[in-house]
Structure 1
């Protein structure tokens, strides 16, 4: 036994940092040596000391017992950057940030869209209508003053002096209401200044009109023969109206119309950009969710993470609904502005111009010295309504009848321009075409009555011309004008209802969307947390 113990030499086992074990080798007869050598049966290490530890201490040139493990951890640390927990955290954080960013973007856009609908539907739109109404009411005020002078003290005409004064007062109150409405809605200095100018000039006009009516009352006269002093006073009033009041009212309408157009273009452009951004960010969100699921499936040998799959489905649905909402809002905006309001604006201007032309017809009779001027003004305004190339008062009726007949054969053949040309090229809604055709047929009837009035006046039958001009009975000019005006108002109402409906539909679709959006965002984030948490726990 002693000989055997002396012949066997203990060679320590050495385990390097790579955790590999080197096979032992023979160092002599009966002796094993090398890093993997195990103690022989006759030789034992010191009590409480492992072979490797004793060997290390015995060699005297290696690190301490804890150094090997610390070195191993230090060398392994860089590899942790690609470890599953880090990768999962990165993908989950990307999903969360993208979801929140998309929700913020949509929240801001919904607020912008709602503000735009309010501007177009409840501010700029009504302002344009109110100022157009102001223009026509001013014209009818002056037309009623002309009617007062036209009928004189005669009682057997279509309109009496008292009736003309009643309508004048009604229009005056309407003008006051329209100005107050325009003033309350005015937000820019230019509009406020124009409104102040209208108020100042309106006061001057009303003073001149009041003196005209008073002079006419003090000097009774047959129909159509006011005194020279009364006529001179009326000329001052109507010149002030035509040269200052009406241009200022038209300027208000144009300014509000430009504001509405700018608001529409800005909103439409922004919706287009936001729709692309939502689609891009939403697609990125879905892609990252899919990448996260594929990574988890490959790493953890699972085919499907139901919770993350639910989050992905919700994200796809949310993005699709958001893009659909933006497209729908763009559609409502187009219907409100282009299809409805552009027609409302053209037709409201047509109504104002029609009242101006009707006033020119009365002025033509009340002031024979300026009859040619008022006749040309009537033709100019008729052309503003339905512009026919090279038409005169003699040829307009014939040309218009031919254009209407061509349109009946082919609705794409609109043979006139002007305000009614704008409307007939923008017919969109149910019942609009029929209402528009009725309006033009009644305009045609009114125009034919106007030619009869002028023929009577030039043939020396001035009394008959005045009776026809002032008559509200069927066959009278005022009756024809009222029929035309009623059909024009009905045509405006078709477009106004469509405009109001489009604005209401747009606002209704936006209502509650912000709350639903953030609920969806919270659900996706919750599903994300539930979906990745079990995988992260496995690495604790």
Structure 2
């Protein structure tokens, strides 16, 4: 025992030790309470804010990209565009506009700047598409130039800004998941110090009073152990569930969102190559590169996806392969001068035709993406449920620990009155 403490009268020493133990106990309870509150806020943010923002950004990007691909496909009809394509395009624009409105509510400065660009340029894009449609109905080649300009605006301005919004939202989800999965070292250290202090105090009193047990300090030690064990167990369980959502959900979300983007880009490239009528080599080159990227992305996603999702992603790869085979047939027709035959293949409506293969690919990726998003939300919700009742329990246990310390020292102090 330090010399200063030895010089203290026993009552003063007991008072000092009691105060120190109460401070440690309150510090343990307060730190555990603050950690639990922070983790609960993080998991709630994933389920109620950052997670929905990520899904909204995905929907925005998908709607814009699908609008571009649909507008290009509809243009191939030479003035007599199908009603369902027109309706799909308008629905895409409506969904994109709605997603922009929702995203504005929780945007930071960087996202607000991206949204300002999107809000300003989306009407420009739709105006170019409508001009292209007008010229296409008249049968003039100028319509193709306007459509290519609209697609260039979409790809060079609108989609990069939408991708930035998704990356920002996904980064927020990833950050919350990382923070929610850290080990609660402060709680562990304070818990060990508190238990060690209580044991040390009991040893000191036992030596000075020849009493083996101090009921109050034994009770305080048990309470400290409960605080430590409950906090560590609940926080670790919550962290494990959030981490599972991160490993099996968030990473897969990013990969599948990228895959859906690539598929829609390839679909637009396919139509724009035909629209260019012999001068679309750049679009065809982009199609080949994008499809190679799509195969790589889907292969990586399948390799790291949970078993329940793997079959769906493999089906998407099969649809992509079938689409690629049909695309090669389409290109063979166009390259040997059968433009109308190529257009007929690109716009056919049968269940085994090229557009159906793309639709099946897009549907498979979208379904897998929705499942991955649900997994992120579900795991975060389970992580939050693991902390249920802990905050109230910590408040009660901290108060009980302090009371037990006081009850443990009060009889000893009365002996010196």
TM-score, with length taken from structure 2 = 0.92
Mapped contact 2:79–2:133 kept (Cα < 8 A): no
Size of the aligned set, in residue pairs, is 414
* Number of the residue aligned with 2:33: 107
* Number of the residue aligned with 2:388: 511
* Number of the residue aligned with 2:345: 468
1:97-120 per-residue CA deviation (whole Å, 9 max, x = no partner) reads 001111221222223223322343
Does residue 1:499 correspond to 2:376, yes or no?
yes
1:363-390 per-residue CA deviation (whole Å, 9 max, x = no partner) reads 1222223321111111121122124xxx
Q: Return the match for 1:244 from 151, 157, 162.
A: 157
Does residue 1:200 correspond to 2:78, yes or no?
no
Give RMSD over aligned pairs: 2.3
Q: Return the match for 2:355 from 466, 472, 478.
A: 478
Consecutive unaligned residues in structure 1, runs of 5 or more = 1-77, 155-159, 220-225, 388-418
Mapped contact 1:133–1:352 kept (Cα < 8 A): no
Q: Return the match for 1:436 from 297, 313, 316.
A: 313
Q: Displacement, 1:492?
A: 1.4
Q: Displacement, 1:521?
A: 0.5
* Range with bigger deviation, 363-372 or 195-204: 363-372
* Number of the residue aligned with 2:145: 232
Deviating 4+ runs (over 6 angstroms): none
Does residue 1:347 correspond to 2:267, yes or no?
no
Mapped contact 1:131–1:252 kept (Cα < 8 A): yes
Distance (Å, rounded) in 2 between the aligned partners of 1:301 and 1:143: 86
Mapped contact 1:147–1:161 kept (Cα < 8 A): no
More helix by share: 2
* Number of the residue aligned with 1:213: 133
Q: Return the match for 2:335 from 450, 455, 458.
A: 458
Q: Return the match for 2:281 from 358, 368, 372.
A: 372
Distance (Å, rounded) in 2 between the aligned partners of 1:475 and 1:460: 24
Mapped contact 2:235–2:387 kept (Cα < 8 A): no
Q: Displacement, 1:183?
A: 1.5
Q: Displacement, 1:264?
A: 4.2
Distance (Å, rounded) in 1 between the aligned partners of 2:371 and 2:114: 31
* Number of the residue aligned with 1:150: 76
1:399-440 per-residue CA deviation (whole Å, 9 max, x = no partner) reads xxxxxxxxxxxxxxxxxxxx324423422x351222222222
Q: Displacement, 1:279?
A: 1.3
1:231-290 per-residue CA deviation (whole Å, 9 max, x = no partner) reads 22222222222222222222222333344444444555xx33xx2221111111111111
Give 1 or 2 for the bigger CA radius of gyration: 1
Mapped contact 2:114–2:161 kept (Cα < 8 A): yes
* Number of the residue aligned with 2:101: 180
Mapped contact 1:431–1:494 kept (Cα < 8 A): no
Q: What secondary structure does 1:474 align onto? A: coil
* Number of the residue aligned with 1:70: none
Q: Which has the higher contact order (CA 8 A, sep 6+)?
A: 2
Distance (Å, rounded) in 2 between the aligned partners of 1:151 and 1:80: 97
* Number of the residue aligned with 1:24: none
Mapped contact 1:364–1:374 kept (Cα < 8 A): yes
* Number of the residue aligned with 1:168: 89
* Number of the residue aligned with 1:386: 295
Q: What secondary structure does 1:370 align onto? A: coil
Q: Return the match for 1:287 from 196, 205, 210.
A: 196
Mapped contact 1:285–1:315 kept (Cα < 8 A): yes
